Amino acid sequence: MAETKFTRPTFATEAIKSDINSVSFLGNPVLDNLVSVVIALGTEVWATKRRMKVMESVMAKKGVTTKMIEEYVPTAEEAAAWEKDRDRFIELTFGPLGNEGTLTVSAPLPKRG
Amino acid sequence: MLGRRNLFTTAGAAAAGISSFFAGRAVEAKAAVKKVVGDVELRGADGRLERFGSLDLESQMDFTAGFREFNNRGISRVAAQRFQTLMKEKGMDPKVPVTFEQMLPIAENDPIIGMSAKTWLANQQVTWKTLQDYFHANADMYLAEMEAADKSGPGSLELNPTMAIPDYTRYEIHIQPGGYVGDPFAGHMYHYGTNSFYIGAIGHNEQDQIHKGTANNIPAPADGKVKRILEMGCGVGQMACALKERFPDAEVWAIDIGGPMVRYGHMRARDLGIDVNFAQRLAENTGFPDGYFDMTTSYIIHHELPQTATRAVIAEAQRITRSGGVYYPVDFNTGGNTGPAYGLFRRWWDHRWNQEVWSREYHTLDFNAEIVKGGFTHIKETKAALPGFGARHFVRNA
Protein backbone atom coordinates (compact mmCIF):
# COMPACT_ATOMS: atom_id res chain seq x y z
CA MET A 1 0.00 0.00 0.00
CA ALA A 2 1.33 3.44 -0.90
CA GLU A 3 2.28 5.70 1.98
CA THR A 4 -0.80 7.52 3.24
CA LYS A 5 -0.91 11.28 2.85
CA PHE A 6 -2.74 12.75 5.81
CA THR A 7 -4.53 16.06 5.44
CA ARG A 8 -5.08 16.65 9.17
CA PRO A 9 -2.67 16.87 12.12
CA THR A 10 -1.51 13.41 13.16
CA PHE A 11 0.59 13.98 16.30
CA ALA A 12 2.79 11.14 15.09
CA THR A 13 6.55 11.17 14.81
CA GLU A 14 9.14 8.98 13.15
CA ALA A 15 9.46 5.42 14.41
CA ILE A 16 12.48 3.10 14.27
CA LYS A 17 11.39 0.51 11.72
CA SER A 18 11.61 -3.18 12.51
CA ASP A 19 13.54 -5.50 10.19
CA ILE A 20 11.01 -8.32 10.46
CA ASN A 21 10.85 -8.81 6.69
CA SER A 22 14.58 -9.54 6.53
CA VAL A 23 14.58 -12.70 8.62
CA SER A 24 14.23 -16.24 7.31
CA PHE A 25 13.04 -18.82 9.83
CA LEU A 26 12.76 -21.64 7.30
CA GLY A 27 16.20 -21.54 5.74
CA ASN A 28 14.88 -20.24 2.45
CA PRO A 29 13.36 -16.76 2.20
CA VAL A 30 11.04 -17.93 -0.57
CA LEU A 31 9.46 -20.43 1.81
CA ASP A 32 9.13 -17.73 4.44
CA ASN A 33 7.43 -15.48 1.93
CA LEU A 34 5.09 -18.27 0.86
CA VAL A 35 4.00 -18.82 4.46
CA SER A 36 3.21 -15.12 4.72
CA VAL A 37 1.22 -15.36 1.51
CA VAL A 38 -0.75 -18.38 2.72
CA ILE A 39 -1.68 -16.72 6.02
CA ALA A 40 -2.75 -13.54 4.24
CA LEU A 41 -4.83 -15.62 1.83
CA GLY A 42 -6.37 -17.47 4.76
CA THR A 43 -7.42 -14.14 6.23
CA GLU A 44 -9.09 -13.13 2.99
CA VAL A 45 -10.76 -16.51 2.44
CA TRP A 46 -12.20 -16.47 5.94
CA ALA A 47 -13.43 -12.89 5.46
CA THR A 48 -15.24 -14.04 2.31
CA LYS A 49 -16.71 -17.12 4.02
CA ARG A 50 -17.86 -15.05 6.96
CA ARG A 51 -19.49 -12.51 4.69
CA MET A 52 -21.37 -15.37 3.04
CA LYS A 53 -22.62 -16.47 6.44
CA VAL A 54 -23.80 -12.95 7.18
CA MET A 55 -25.53 -12.79 3.79
CA GLU A 56 -27.28 -16.09 4.39
CA SER A 57 -28.49 -14.93 7.78
CA VAL A 58 -29.73 -11.64 6.36
CA MET A 59 -31.41 -13.39 3.44
CA ALA A 60 -33.05 -15.91 5.75
CA LYS A 61 -34.74 -13.03 7.54
CA LYS A 62 -36.02 -11.91 4.14
CA GLY A 63 -37.41 -15.33 3.31
CA VAL A 64 -34.46 -16.90 1.49
CA THR A 65 -33.56 -19.73 3.83
CA THR A 66 -30.32 -21.69 4.14
CA LYS A 67 -32.33 -24.77 3.17
CA MET A 68 -33.30 -23.10 -0.11
CA ILE A 69 -29.66 -22.30 -0.76
CA GLU A 70 -28.49 -25.82 0.11
CA GLU A 71 -31.13 -27.42 -2.10
CA TYR A 72 -30.67 -25.12 -5.04
CA VAL A 73 -30.00 -26.97 -8.30
CA PRO A 74 -28.10 -24.92 -10.85
CA THR A 75 -29.36 -24.76 -14.37
CA ALA A 76 -27.33 -26.49 -17.05
CA GLU A 77 -26.00 -23.14 -18.21
CA GLU A 78 -25.02 -22.17 -14.69
CA ALA A 79 -23.32 -25.52 -14.07
CA ALA A 80 -21.26 -25.18 -17.23
CA ALA A 81 -20.25 -21.62 -16.45
CA TRP A 82 -19.35 -22.44 -12.85
CA GLU A 83 -17.26 -25.43 -13.89
CA LYS A 84 -15.33 -23.25 -16.26
CA ASP A 85 -14.77 -20.69 -13.55
CA ARG A 86 -13.71 -23.43 -11.08
CA ASP A 87 -11.08 -24.66 -13.52
CA ARG A 88 -9.81 -21.15 -14.06
CA PHE A 89 -9.56 -20.68 -10.29
CA ILE A 90 -7.64 -23.94 -9.83
CA GLU A 91 -5.28 -23.16 -12.65
CA LEU A 92 -4.61 -19.68 -11.31
CA THR A 93 -3.94 -20.72 -7.72
CA PHE A 94 -2.39 -24.17 -8.05
CA GLY A 95 -0.95 -24.05 -11.55
CA PRO A 96 2.52 -22.98 -10.36
CA LEU A 97 2.84 -26.25 -8.41
CA GLY A 98 3.50 -27.94 -11.74
CA ASN A 99 6.46 -25.76 -12.67
CA GLU A 100 9.62 -27.82 -13.03
CA GLY A 101 12.11 -25.21 -11.88
CA THR A 102 15.05 -27.11 -13.39
CA LEU A 103 16.87 -24.10 -14.82
CA THR A 104 19.42 -22.07 -12.92
CA VAL A 105 19.27 -18.29 -12.76
CA SER A 106 22.17 -17.99 -15.21
CA ALA A 107 20.71 -20.40 -17.79
CA PRO A 108 21.06 -18.99 -21.35
CA LEU A 109 18.17 -18.48 -23.72
CA PRO A 110 17.11 -21.73 -25.39
CA LYS A 111 18.33 -22.20 -28.93
CA ARG A 112 15.70 -21.64 -31.58
CA GLY A 113 15.32 -23.54 -34.84
CA MET B 1 -15.93 5.90 18.68
CA LEU B 2 -18.34 4.74 21.31
CA GLY B 3 -21.23 6.97 22.05
CA ARG B 4 -22.14 7.47 25.67
CA ARG B 5 -24.39 4.65 26.61
CA ASN B 6 -25.60 2.63 29.49
CA LEU B 7 -22.36 0.77 29.92
CA PHE B 8 -22.29 -2.94 30.38
CA THR B 9 -20.61 -3.21 33.74
CA THR B 10 -22.30 -6.28 35.11
CA ALA B 11 -20.94 -9.78 35.14
CA GLY B 12 -23.57 -10.74 32.62
CA ALA B 13 -22.39 -8.14 30.18
CA ALA B 14 -18.80 -9.21 30.68
CA ALA B 15 -19.84 -12.75 29.96
CA ALA B 16 -21.53 -11.55 26.80
CA GLY B 17 -18.19 -10.18 25.65
CA ILE B 18 -16.50 -13.44 26.55
CA SER B 19 -18.95 -15.65 24.72
CA SER B 20 -18.50 -13.85 21.44
CA PHE B 21 -15.53 -11.66 20.73
CA PHE B 22 -16.89 -9.89 17.72
CA ALA B 23 -20.62 -10.44 17.86
CA GLY B 24 -22.59 -7.27 17.42
CA ARG B 25 -25.11 -7.37 20.17
CA ALA B 26 -24.58 -3.69 20.89
CA VAL B 27 -27.26 -2.90 18.43
CA GLU B 28 -29.60 -3.85 21.27
CA ALA B 29 -28.16 -1.04 23.36
CA LYS B 30 -28.54 1.52 20.61
CA ALA B 31 -31.72 2.96 22.08
CA ALA B 32 -29.73 4.07 25.12
CA VAL B 33 -26.99 5.78 23.11
CA LYS B 34 -26.64 9.50 23.35
CA LYS B 35 -24.53 10.53 20.38
CA VAL B 36 -21.43 12.60 20.98
CA VAL B 37 -20.66 15.39 18.52
CA GLY B 38 -18.32 14.16 15.78
CA ASP B 39 -18.68 10.56 16.90
CA VAL B 40 -18.04 7.91 14.26
CA GLU B 41 -19.73 4.64 15.06
CA LEU B 42 -20.39 2.87 11.81
CA ARG B 43 -21.59 -0.52 13.02
CA GLY B 44 -22.65 -0.06 16.63
CA ALA B 45 -20.82 -1.37 19.67
CA ASP B 46 -20.54 -4.43 21.81
CA GLY B 47 -20.70 -2.95 25.29
CA ARG B 48 -17.52 -0.89 25.74
CA LEU B 49 -16.01 -2.01 22.45
CA GLU B 50 -17.00 -0.29 19.23
CA ARG B 51 -17.44 -2.83 16.49
CA PHE B 52 -14.94 -2.74 13.66
CA GLY B 53 -15.80 -0.22 10.99
CA SER B 54 -16.35 -2.87 8.32
CA LEU B 55 -17.49 -6.47 8.18
CA ASP B 56 -14.35 -7.46 6.29
CA LEU B 57 -12.06 -6.00 8.95
CA GLU B 58 -14.05 -7.73 11.67
CA SER B 59 -13.70 -11.04 9.83
CA GLN B 60 -10.01 -10.55 9.11
CA MET B 61 -9.38 -9.90 12.78
CA ASP B 62 -11.54 -12.87 13.68
CA PHE B 63 -9.26 -15.02 11.53
CA THR B 64 -6.03 -13.68 13.02
CA ALA B 65 -7.34 -14.14 16.57
CA GLY B 66 -8.29 -17.71 15.71
CA PHE B 67 -4.98 -18.38 14.00
CA ARG B 68 -3.07 -17.11 17.01
CA GLU B 69 -4.82 -19.69 19.19
CA PHE B 70 -4.24 -22.38 16.57
CA ASN B 71 -0.57 -21.52 16.54
CA ASN B 72 -0.32 -21.66 20.33
CA ARG B 73 -2.07 -24.98 20.72
CA GLY B 74 -0.90 -26.70 17.52
CA ILE B 75 2.17 -25.55 15.66
CA SER B 76 3.98 -24.44 18.81
CA ARG B 77 3.50 -27.80 20.50
CA VAL B 78 4.99 -29.59 17.54
CA ALA B 79 7.95 -27.21 17.69
CA ALA B 80 8.36 -27.79 21.42
CA GLN B 81 8.49 -31.56 20.82
CA ARG B 82 11.02 -31.04 18.06
CA PHE B 83 13.19 -29.05 20.44
CA GLN B 84 13.18 -31.95 22.88
CA THR B 85 14.12 -34.41 20.16
CA LEU B 86 17.00 -32.29 18.92
CA MET B 87 18.30 -31.69 22.42
CA LYS B 88 18.28 -35.40 23.20
CA GLU B 89 20.16 -36.05 19.96
CA LYS B 90 22.79 -33.62 21.17
CA GLY B 91 22.99 -35.31 24.57
CA MET B 92 21.26 -32.42 26.36
CA ASP B 93 18.57 -32.84 29.02
CA PRO B 94 15.51 -30.85 27.81
CA LYS B 95 14.44 -30.25 31.42
CA VAL B 96 17.65 -28.46 32.34
CA PRO B 97 17.43 -24.68 31.83
CA VAL B 98 19.69 -23.30 29.12
CA THR B 99 20.96 -19.90 28.08
CA PHE B 100 20.08 -18.05 24.89
CA GLU B 101 23.53 -18.89 23.60
CA GLN B 102 22.95 -22.63 24.13
CA MET B 103 19.42 -22.52 22.72
CA LEU B 104 19.89 -20.56 19.53
CA PRO B 105 22.11 -23.03 17.60
CA ILE B 106 19.44 -25.71 18.13
CA ALA B 107 16.70 -23.50 16.71
CA GLU B 108 18.68 -21.73 14.02
CA ASN B 109 18.10 -23.88 10.97
CA ASP B 110 15.33 -26.24 11.92
CA PRO B 111 12.26 -25.65 9.72
CA ILE B 112 9.79 -27.22 12.15
CA ILE B 113 10.87 -25.00 14.99
CA GLY B 114 11.16 -22.07 12.61
CA MET B 115 7.63 -22.63 11.33
CA SER B 116 6.17 -21.95 14.78
CA ALA B 117 7.79 -18.52 14.92
CA LYS B 118 7.28 -17.73 11.25
CA THR B 119 3.54 -18.43 11.29
CA TRP B 120 3.00 -16.55 14.56
CA LEU B 121 4.85 -13.50 13.28
CA ALA B 122 3.28 -13.59 9.82
CA ASN B 123 -0.12 -13.68 11.50
CA GLN B 124 0.93 -10.77 13.69
CA GLN B 125 1.93 -8.80 10.59
CA VAL B 126 -1.40 -9.52 8.91
CA THR B 127 -3.20 -8.40 12.06
CA TRP B 128 -1.47 -5.03 12.00
CA LYS B 129 -1.61 -4.58 8.26
CA THR B 130 -5.35 -5.17 8.02
CA LEU B 131 -5.94 -2.70 10.84
CA GLN B 132 -3.57 -0.10 9.44
CA ASP B 133 -4.91 -0.44 5.89
CA TYR B 134 -8.45 0.12 7.14
CA PHE B 135 -7.70 3.17 9.26
CA HIS B 136 -5.45 4.72 6.61
CA ALA B 137 -8.07 4.17 3.93
CA ASN B 138 -10.54 6.05 6.15
CA ALA B 139 -8.01 8.43 7.66
CA ASP B 140 -9.85 11.67 7.18
CA MET B 141 -13.00 10.41 8.87
CA TYR B 142 -11.17 9.00 11.89
CA LEU B 143 -8.79 11.93 12.25
CA ALA B 144 -11.77 14.29 12.16
CA GLU B 145 -13.41 12.21 14.86
CA MET B 146 -10.35 12.61 17.08
CA GLU B 147 -10.20 16.35 16.34
CA ALA B 148 -13.79 16.67 17.51
CA ALA B 149 -12.94 14.82 20.71
CA ASP B 150 -9.64 16.58 21.47
CA LYS B 151 -11.15 19.60 23.16
CA SER B 152 -14.27 18.12 24.69
CA GLY B 153 -14.88 16.27 27.92
CA PRO B 154 -15.45 14.72 30.30
CA GLY B 155 -11.74 14.55 30.96
CA SER B 156 -9.04 16.49 29.16
CA LEU B 157 -6.25 15.98 26.64
CA GLU B 158 -2.81 17.58 26.57
CA LEU B 159 -0.70 16.99 23.46
CA ASN B 160 2.93 18.10 23.23
CA PRO B 161 3.87 17.77 19.56
CA THR B 162 7.24 19.52 19.97
CA MET B 163 8.48 17.48 22.92
CA ALA B 164 11.64 15.41 22.53
CA ILE B 165 10.76 11.76 21.98
CA PRO B 166 13.50 9.47 23.35
CA ASP B 167 14.78 6.90 20.87
CA TYR B 168 13.99 4.00 23.17
CA THR B 169 10.27 4.74 22.74
CA ARG B 170 10.39 4.81 18.94
CA TYR B 171 10.65 1.09 18.26
CA GLU B 172 7.84 -0.82 16.60
CA ILE B 173 6.97 -2.82 19.71
CA HIS B 174 5.05 -6.00 18.79
CA ILE B 175 5.94 -5.04 15.18
CA GLN B 176 2.99 -2.64 15.31
CA PRO B 177 3.61 -0.38 12.28
CA GLY B 178 4.92 2.93 13.60
CA GLY B 179 4.97 1.64 17.17
CA TYR B 180 3.28 3.85 19.74
CA VAL B 181 4.51 7.15 18.34
CA GLY B 182 4.77 6.77 14.57
CA ASP B 183 1.26 6.25 13.25
CA PRO B 184 -1.74 8.56 13.79
CA PHE B 185 -3.86 5.49 14.51
CA ALA B 186 -1.44 3.86 16.94
CA GLY B 187 -4.13 3.92 19.64
CA HIS B 188 -6.81 2.40 17.44
CA MET B 189 -4.48 -0.36 16.27
CA TYR B 190 -3.11 -1.03 19.75
CA HIS B 191 -6.56 -1.33 21.29
CA TYR B 192 -7.95 -3.78 18.75
CA GLY B 193 -4.67 -5.61 18.27
CA THR B 194 -4.13 -6.24 21.96
CA ASN B 195 -7.67 -7.57 22.35
CA SER B 196 -6.53 -10.30 19.99
CA PHE B 197 -3.33 -10.87 22.00
CA TYR B 198 -5.22 -11.26 25.25
CA ILE B 199 -7.40 -14.10 23.97
CA GLY B 200 -4.41 -16.31 23.32
CA ALA B 201 -2.62 -15.30 26.51
CA ILE B 202 -4.59 -14.42 29.64
CA GLY B 203 -8.23 -14.15 28.60
CA HIS B 204 -10.75 -11.82 27.02
CA ASN B 205 -10.45 -8.08 27.44
CA GLU B 206 -12.96 -6.61 25.02
CA GLN B 207 -14.90 -5.11 27.93
CA ASP B 208 -11.67 -4.12 29.73
CA GLN B 209 -12.25 -7.09 32.01
CA ILE B 210 -8.56 -7.57 32.65
CA HIS B 211 -7.87 -3.91 33.33
CA LYS B 212 -10.91 -3.65 35.59
CA GLY B 213 -9.91 -6.74 37.52
CA THR B 214 -6.38 -5.43 37.90
CA ALA B 215 -7.50 -1.94 38.95
CA ASN B 216 -9.84 -3.43 41.52
CA ASN B 217 -7.02 -5.54 42.98
CA ILE B 218 -4.53 -2.72 43.45
CA PRO B 219 -4.45 -1.91 47.16
CA ALA B 220 -5.42 1.61 48.25
CA PRO B 221 -3.20 3.46 50.75
CA ALA B 222 -3.61 2.26 54.33
CA ASP B 223 -5.15 5.59 55.41
CA GLY B 224 -7.83 5.21 52.71
CA LYS B 225 -7.13 8.64 51.22
CA VAL B 226 -7.33 8.49 47.42
CA LYS B 227 -7.65 11.97 45.96
CA ARG B 228 -5.30 11.65 43.00
CA ILE B 229 -4.22 8.69 40.88
CA LEU B 230 -1.73 8.41 38.02
CA GLU B 231 -1.22 5.74 35.37
CA MET B 232 2.25 6.06 33.82
CA GLY B 233 2.76 4.85 30.24
CA CYS B 234 -0.98 4.46 29.96
CA GLY B 235 -1.25 3.33 26.34
CA VAL B 236 -4.92 3.92 25.55
CA GLY B 237 -5.74 4.39 29.23
CA GLN B 238 -7.77 1.29 29.93
CA MET B 239 -6.48 0.92 33.47
CA ALA B 240 -6.77 4.64 34.19
CA CYS B 241 -10.43 4.42 33.18
CA ALA B 242 -10.92 1.37 35.39
CA LEU B 243 -9.29 3.19 38.31
CA LYS B 244 -11.58 6.18 37.79
CA GLU B 245 -14.57 3.86 37.82
CA ARG B 246 -13.33 2.35 41.08
CA PHE B 247 -12.53 5.75 42.64
CA PRO B 248 -15.10 8.08 41.02
CA ASP B 249 -14.20 11.04 43.26
CA ALA B 250 -10.48 10.90 42.53
CA GLU B 251 -8.64 13.09 40.02
CA VAL B 252 -7.17 10.55 37.60
CA TRP B 253 -4.30 11.21 35.19
CA ALA B 254 -3.05 9.01 32.37
CA ILE B 255 0.25 9.86 30.64
CA ASP B 256 2.07 8.29 27.69
CA ILE B 257 4.79 9.35 25.28
CA GLY B 258 2.64 8.39 22.29
CA GLY B 259 0.54 11.35 21.12
CA PRO B 260 -1.76 9.12 19.04
CA MET B 261 -2.14 6.79 22.02
CA VAL B 262 -3.34 9.41 24.50
CA ARG B 263 -5.46 11.01 21.81
CA TYR B 264 -7.34 7.79 21.20
CA GLY B 265 -7.43 7.08 24.94
CA HIS B 266 -9.01 10.46 25.66
CA MET B 267 -11.55 10.03 22.88
CA ARG B 268 -12.53 6.61 24.13
CA ALA B 269 -12.76 7.69 27.78
CA ARG B 270 -14.83 10.67 26.75
CA ASP B 271 -17.18 8.52 24.73
CA LEU B 272 -17.54 6.17 27.69
CA GLY B 273 -18.31 9.17 29.89
CA ILE B 274 -15.25 8.59 32.09
CA ASP B 275 -13.48 11.70 33.42
CA VAL B 276 -9.74 11.04 33.01
CA ASN B 277 -7.03 13.60 32.20
CA PHE B 278 -4.76 12.34 29.42
CA ALA B 279 -1.39 13.95 28.70
CA GLN B 280 1.49 13.26 26.34
CA ARG B 281 4.33 13.14 28.83
CA LEU B 282 7.26 10.94 29.77
CA ALA B 283 6.94 8.66 32.78
CA GLU B 284 10.43 9.67 33.94
CA ASN B 285 9.58 13.38 33.69
CA THR B 286 5.90 13.78 34.51
CA GLY B 287 5.87 17.44 35.47
CA PHE B 288 3.64 16.84 38.49
CA PRO B 289 4.44 18.42 41.89
CA ASP B 290 6.23 16.46 44.60
CA GLY B 291 3.96 14.09 46.55
CA TYR B 292 0.99 14.83 44.28
CA PHE B 293 -0.45 11.35 43.95
CA ASP B 294 -1.96 8.96 46.46
CA MET B 295 -1.60 6.10 43.99
CA THR B 296 0.93 5.84 41.17
CA THR B 297 0.49 2.91 38.85
CA SER B 298 1.55 1.50 35.50
CA TYR B 299 0.40 -1.44 33.42
CA ILE B 300 3.01 -3.62 31.73
CA ILE B 301 5.34 -0.82 30.61
CA HIS B 302 8.63 -1.63 32.32
CA HIS B 303 9.50 -4.56 30.05
CA GLU B 304 9.30 -2.00 27.21
CA LEU B 305 11.96 0.20 28.86
CA PRO B 306 15.74 0.00 29.07
CA GLN B 307 17.03 -0.39 32.61
CA THR B 308 18.16 3.23 32.77
CA ALA B 309 14.63 4.41 31.99
CA THR B 310 13.11 1.97 34.49
CA ARG B 311 15.32 3.39 37.24
CA ALA B 312 14.42 6.95 36.20
CA VAL B 313 10.71 6.11 36.24
CA ILE B 314 11.01 4.60 39.73
CA ALA B 315 12.77 7.80 40.89
CA GLU B 316 9.99 9.90 39.40
CA ALA B 317 7.34 7.71 41.02
CA GLN B 318 9.08 8.23 44.36
CA ARG B 319 9.08 11.99 43.83
CA ILE B 320 5.42 12.38 42.88
CA THR B 321 3.87 9.81 45.25
CA ARG B 322 3.06 11.08 48.73
CA SER B 323 4.43 9.45 51.87
CA GLY B 324 2.33 6.38 52.57
CA GLY B 325 1.00 6.45 49.02
CA VAL B 326 0.90 3.30 46.89
CA TYR B 327 3.17 2.59 43.92
CA TYR B 328 1.98 -0.38 41.90
CA PRO B 329 3.76 -1.05 38.58
CA VAL B 330 2.07 -4.11 37.06
CA ASP B 331 4.52 -6.12 34.97
CA PHE B 332 5.94 -9.56 34.30
CA ASN B 333 7.89 -11.45 36.90
CA THR B 334 11.56 -11.04 36.23
CA GLY B 335 13.47 -14.27 36.15
CA GLY B 336 16.76 -13.83 34.40
CA ASN B 337 17.64 -15.02 30.94
CA THR B 338 17.75 -18.78 31.27
CA GLY B 339 14.93 -21.32 31.03
CA PRO B 340 13.58 -24.40 29.29
CA ALA B 341 14.84 -24.30 25.69
CA TYR B 342 11.58 -23.91 23.79
CA GLY B 343 10.23 -21.25 26.16
CA LEU B 344 13.50 -19.42 25.77
CA PHE B 345 13.23 -19.69 21.98
CA ARG B 346 9.82 -18.01 22.15
CA ARG B 347 11.27 -15.32 24.37
CA TRP B 348 14.08 -14.88 21.88
CA TRP B 349 11.94 -14.25 18.82
CA ASP B 350 9.51 -12.21 20.87
CA HIS B 351 12.44 -10.00 21.83
CA ARG B 352 14.31 -9.94 18.53
CA TRP B 353 11.61 -10.28 15.90
CA ASN B 354 8.39 -9.25 17.64
CA GLN B 355 10.39 -6.21 18.71
CA GLU B 356 10.15 -6.56 22.47
CA VAL B 357 13.41 -4.69 22.25
CA TRP B 358 13.97 -4.12 25.95
CA SER B 359 12.58 -7.34 27.38
CA ARG B 360 15.97 -8.99 27.88
CA GLU B 361 17.20 -6.00 29.86
CA TYR B 362 14.04 -6.07 31.92
CA HIS B 363 14.35 -9.74 32.72
CA THR B 364 17.90 -9.37 34.02
CA LEU B 365 16.77 -6.68 36.44
CA ASP B 366 15.70 -7.45 40.00
CA PHE B 367 12.71 -5.16 39.57
CA ASN B 368 11.40 -5.41 43.13
CA ALA B 369 14.86 -4.68 44.56
CA GLU B 370 15.21 -1.62 42.32
CA ILE B 371 11.91 -0.24 43.58
CA VAL B 372 12.91 -0.79 47.21
CA LYS B 373 16.23 0.90 46.46
CA GLY B 374 14.23 3.79 45.04
CA GLY B 375 12.55 4.58 48.36
CA PHE B 376 9.59 2.23 48.70
CA THR B 377 8.64 -0.60 51.05
CA HIS B 378 7.51 -3.84 49.44
CA ILE B 379 4.30 -5.23 50.99
CA LYS B 380 5.02 -8.85 50.27
CA GLU B 381 1.87 -10.46 51.59
CA THR B 382 -0.30 -8.84 48.87
CA LYS B 383 -1.24 -11.07 45.93
CA ALA B 384 -0.50 -9.98 42.37
CA ALA B 385 -3.11 -7.52 41.08
CA LEU B 386 -2.91 -9.24 37.70
CA PRO B 387 -2.71 -12.99 38.32
CA GLY B 388 0.44 -14.56 36.90
CA PHE B 389 2.34 -11.27 36.96
CA GLY B 390 4.54 -9.79 39.65
CA ALA B 391 3.12 -8.86 43.07
CA ARG B 392 4.17 -5.23 43.17
CA HIS B 393 2.48 -3.55 46.11
CA PHE B 394 4.88 -0.84 47.26
CA VAL B 395 4.37 1.98 49.73
CA ARG B 396 6.38 5.16 49.52
CA ASN B 397 8.62 5.64 52.51
CA ALA B 398 8.22 8.79 54.63
Query: Quick check: B33 pLDDT over 50?
Result: no
Query: Quick check: B29 pLDDT over 70?
Result: no
Query: Quick check: B396 pLDDT over 70?
Result: yes
Of A8, A43, A47, the CB nearest to B147: A8
- CA pair distance B330, B337, nearest whole angstrom: 20
Tens of pLDDT, residue by residue over B52-110, are: 999 999 999 999 999 999 998 889 999 999 999 999 999 999 889 999 999 999 988 79
Count CB neighbours of B233 within 10 A: 26
Contact A8 B353 (CB under 8 A): no
Query: Quick check: A31 pLDDT over 80?
Result: yes
Residue pair B336/B364 in contact by the 8 Å Cβ criterion: yes
Q: What is the pLDDT of residue B36?
A: 67
Query: Quick check: B23 pLDDT over 50?
Result: no
Q: What is the pLDDT of residue B35?
A: 58
Closest Cα in chain B, distance from residue A30 (Å): 12
Q: For B292-316, what is the mean pLDDT?
A: 98
- CA pair distance B249, B227, nearest whole angstrom: 7
Query: Quick check: A105 pLDDT over 80?
Result: no
Contact A4 B260 (CB under 8 A): no
Of A7, A12, A27, the CB nearest to B109: A27
Residues 6+ positions from B132 with CB-CB distance below 8 Å: B177, B183, B185, B189
Q: Give residue B313's identity as a one-letter amino acid code.
A: V
Q: What is the pLDDT of residue A1?
A: 53
| % of chain A surpassing 70 pLDDT | 97
Residue pair B258/B184 in contact by the 8 Å Cβ criterion: no
**DSSP H helical ranges for B138-258:** 139-150, 186-201, 209-217, 238-246
Q: For B339-347, what is the mean pLDDT?
A: 92
Q: What is the pLDDT of residue B46?
A: 93
Q: Give residue A49's identity as a one-letter amino acid code.
A: K
Tens of pLDDT, residue by residue over B123-150, are: 999 999 999 999 999 999 999 999 999 9
DSSP character at residue B302: G
Query: Quick check: B295 pLDDT over 80?
Result: yes
Q: For B38-61, what is the mean pLDDT?
A: 93
Secondary structure (3-state) at B150 = helix
Query: Quick check: B14 pLDDT over 60?
Result: no
Secondary structure (3-state) at B70 = helix
Q: Give residue B279's identity as a one-letter amino acid code.
A: A
B273: region left, alpha or beta (phi > 0 left; psi from -120 to 50 alpha): left
| % of chain B surpassing 70 pLDDT | 91
- CA pair distance B302, B370, nearest whole angstrom: 12
- CA pair distance B317, B331, nearest whole angstrom: 15
Q: For A54-81, what is the mean pLDDT?
A: 94
Flag whether residue A40 sits within 8 Å of chain B, measured between CB atoms: yes
Confidence label for B383 from pLDDT (cuts 50, 70 and 90) = very high
Confidence label for B2 from pLDDT (cuts 50, 70 and 90) = very low
- What pairs with residue B49 in β-bridges? B46
- CA pair distance B381, A64, nearest whole angstrom: 62
Closest Cα in chain A, distance from residue B291 (Å): 30
Q: What is the pLDDT of residue B32?
A: 39
CA dihedral (A23, A27, A30, A31) positive or negative: negative
Confidence label for B31 from pLDDT (cuts 50, 70 and 90) = very low
Query: Quick check: B25 pLDDT over 70?
Result: no
Residue pair B83/B113 in contact by the 8 Å Cβ criterion: yes
pTM for the whole thing? Answer: 0.89
Residues 6+ positions from A75 with CB-CB distance below 8 Å: none
Of A14, A31, A51, the CB nearest to B59: A51
Q: What is the pLDDT of residue B11?
A: 31
The ipTM, to two decimals, is 0.83
Cα atoms found within 13 Å of the Cα of residue B90, Cβ hemisphere only: 14
Q: What is the pLDDT of residue B22?
A: 36
CA dihedral (B263, B136, B18, B330) positive or negative: negative
Closest Cα in chain A, distance from residue B187 (Å): 11
Residue pair B15/B5 in contact by the 8 Å Cβ criterion: no
How does the average pLDDT of chain B come out, rounded? Answer: 90
